[in-house]
Amino acid sequence: MDKQLIDDLFYVEEKKYGLWQSHLADGTCVITSLTEEECTRATRWYLKQKQEGFDKVETKTYDSVVGGKL
């Protein structure tokens, strides 16, 4: 099967149970979705956000303790 690149960046294929999955040109899995259209839209959004640096945002973790008797 010939895989057609979308936006010269990724391709979308139907997987088991009717799910759709997008992959980068090198085969790296990006998004799994219920419909082909949603998979394409979400992959475009994800790649745009990654290009703009959203994956470089600092993450914080919190720890809490609840005192008292339950």
Residue 4 lies in a domain: no
Residue 16 lies in a domain: yes
- Tens of pLDDT, residue by residue over 12-69, are 999 989 999 999 999 999 999 999 999 999 999 999 988 888 766 566 777 888 777 7
Rounded-to-5 percentages of helix, strand, coil across the chain:
35, 25, 45
Q: Is the pLDDT of residue 3 over 60?
A: yes
Domain count, the chain: 1
Residue 62 lies in a domain: no
Residue 38 lies in a domain: yes
Residue 64 lies in a domain: no
Prediction pTM value = 0.71
Residue 19 lies in a domain: yes
Q: Cβ neighbours of residue 18 under 8 Å, at least 6 residues apart?
A: 34
Token pair for 51: 């290009």
Token pair for 16: 């088991």
